[in-house]
């Protein structure tokens, strides 16, 4: 069966358009409660800083309470914080209202099960089956209740700080922290500061409309200028809901998710603490694969989406995985992608080794890579087009063993992503543009 509403990471879209309406949110809560929350069970609801979060919070609260669930309202907190508090409060379900790195006018709703993990495709399909029916309202004696939890931020800060080795602090590190005007705007600077770092916050003044605007992991230009200008040691950038991380070295150079995964894996490998394979995605840079091969570190690729990286890690017994975009999984520290916890792990490595971030990232050569997003009027399957497959085969022959071609449909918008990487930049650009033109013609 094909899912109608759930995409790569929950339900997402433009606010006011289906499915991101108050009515749908209430029905979604009712459906999720019927699948995952037993009678008298508990649901944790958190959100990022988008203005529309108030509306969706109220709608979800109504849907869950009407279905007999008790609701704990957390307020703005990073997505991984909600995953953690779902476990800490022994709740049956965690809910996050966020469109992650998307623009302010979008929003989304995603779920965690009682173990703090994202839902499987099978569970999401079961929820969609219940969405075919109206929301339920139980009798008065069976309704749930709601209350706001004022200690949530402190609980999550303590949890993040506990991921740092006992007795270690971050004194001596000057850190520029970019909170994307999102859910991590308070917990990020305070956690780093409590651990002794000298913190300069930017992107930490949300007004409900400026989330991810000119800041954060998707727009790190200001961070790249600020770090060297203030002679800081490192920059840390989260996205709007705090589950993505990119960093900036002392020279203002961006260090992406592939490089961070390399740094984390190498540190574990050198200590003999690396378990199972390291898991990337089909979009991970070829340089990462080559770097691991040179150290005889097993590396495998999953489909795009941190939920699929997590599935492969669980299947293989691995503990480290991630995406180029900065979704990082460190399973012995957190059950889901956590930008702040991953940043702390990298800062710890810097402290332990005395090395700069640029030195730690230098061991991974980055192959030239080009991504072209081809917008389509409707969803198309690149694998079903003879013209596209012929063009891909020609490109792969041209690249030989020195590059890769990946075409995939976006899980959140009508876009085909054409990715080409190889050793020669000009060749990569030429092939990517040629393939994009073929895809665009096929989608016309």
User: For the range 351-357, what are the long-range contacts, defined as Cβ-Cβ under 8 Å and sequence gap of 24 or more?
Assistant: 351/168, 351/170, 351/172, 351/173, 352/168, 352/267, 353/267, 356/233, 356/249, 356/250, 357/233, 357/234, 357/247, 357/248, 357/249, 357/250, 357/255, 357/263
What is the C-alpha separation between 418 and 149, in angstroms, rounded? Answer: 44
The 3-class secondary structure across 244-303, one letter per residue, is: EEEEECCCCCEECHHHHHHHHHHHHHHHCCCCCCEEEECCCCHHHHHHHHHCCCCEEEEC
Given 30, 100, 117, 385, the catalytic residue: 100
Q: Contact 170/351 with Cβ under 8 angstroms?
A: yes
Burial 356-376 (b: 16+ CB within 10 A, else e): ebeebbeebeebbbbebebeb
Q: What's the CA angle centered on 301, arms 298 and 302, to 5 degrees? A: 135
Question: Catalytic residue at 325?
Answer: no
Q: Contact 316/257 with Cβ under 8 angstroms?
A: no
- Which positions ≥6 away from 318 have C-beta within 8 Å? 275, 276, 277, 278, 279, 312, 331
Structure-derived torsion over alpha carbons of residues 156, 162, 164, 170, reported in degrees to the nearest 10? 70
Phi and psi torsions of 7, nearest 5°? -110, -145
Sheet hosting strand 299-302, strand order edge to edge: 299-302, 278-281, 320-322, 328-330
Tell me the sheet residues that pair with 227: none
| Integer-rounded Cα radius of gyration of the chain | 22
What does 61-88 look like in DSSP terms, one character per residue?
HHHHHHTT-EEEEEEE--HHHHHHHHHH
Q: How far is CA 196 from CA 168, 189, 199, 221, 368, in A?
A: 10, 11, 9, 26, 38
Q: Contact 282/264 with Cβ under 8 angstroms?
A: no
Give the catalytic positions in this structure.
Answer: 100
């Amino acid at each position: 069966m094909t899912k109608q509403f759930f995409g790569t990471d929950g339900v997402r879209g433009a606010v006011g358009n289906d499915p991101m309406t108050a009515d749908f949110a209430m029905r979604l809560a009712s459906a999720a409660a019927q699948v995952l929350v037993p009678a008298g069970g508990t649901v944790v609801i958190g959100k990022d800083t988008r203005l529309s979060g108030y509306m969706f919070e109220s709608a979800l609260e109504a849907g869950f309470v009407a279905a007999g669930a008790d609701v704990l309202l957390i307020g703005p907190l990073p997505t991984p914080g909600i995953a953690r508090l779902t476990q800490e409060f022994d709740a049956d379900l965690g809910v996050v209202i966020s469109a992650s790195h998307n623009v302010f006018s979008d929003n989304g709703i995603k779920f965690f099960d009682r173990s703090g993990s994202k839902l499987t495709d099978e569970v999401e399909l079961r929820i969609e089956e219940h969405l075919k029916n109206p929301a339920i309202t139980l009798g008065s004696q069976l309704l749930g209740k709601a209350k706001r939890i004022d200690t949530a931020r402190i609980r999550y800060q303590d949890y993040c700080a506990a991921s740092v080795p006992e007795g270690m602090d971050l004194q001596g590190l000057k850190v520029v922290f970019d909170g994307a005007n999102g859910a991590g705007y308070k917990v990020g600077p305070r956690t780093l500061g409590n651990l002794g770092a000298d913190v300069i916050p930017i992107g930490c003044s949300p007004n409900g409309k400026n989330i991810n605007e000119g800041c954060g992991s998707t727009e790190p230009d200001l961070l790249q200028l600020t770090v060297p200008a203030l002679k800081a040691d490192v920059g840390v950038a989260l996205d709007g809901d705090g589950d993505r991380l990119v960093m900036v070295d002392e020279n203002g150079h961006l260090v992406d998710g592939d490089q961070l995964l390399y740094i984390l894996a190498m540190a574990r490998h050198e200590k003999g603490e690396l378990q199972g394979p390291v898991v990337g995605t089909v979009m991970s840079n070829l340089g990462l694969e080559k770097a691991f091969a040179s150290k005889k570190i097993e590396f495998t690729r999953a489909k795009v989406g941190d939920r699929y990286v997590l599935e492969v890690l669980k299947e293989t017994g691995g503990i480290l995985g991630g995406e180029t975009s900065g979704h990082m999984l460190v399973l012995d520290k957190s059950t889901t992608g956590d930008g702040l916890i991953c940043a702390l792990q990298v800062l710890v490595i810097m402290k332990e080794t005395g090395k700069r971030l640029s030195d730690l990232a230098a061991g991974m050569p980055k192959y030239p890579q080009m991504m072209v997003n081809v917008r389509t009027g409707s969803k198309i399957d690149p694998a079903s087009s003879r013209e596209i497959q012929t063009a891909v085969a020609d490109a792969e022959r041209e690249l030989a063993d020195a590059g890769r071609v990946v075409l995939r449909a976006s899980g959140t918008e009508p876009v085909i992503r054409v990715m080409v990487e190889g050793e020669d930049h000009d060749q990569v650009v030429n092939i990517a543009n040629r393939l994009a033109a073929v895809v665009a013609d096929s989608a016309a």
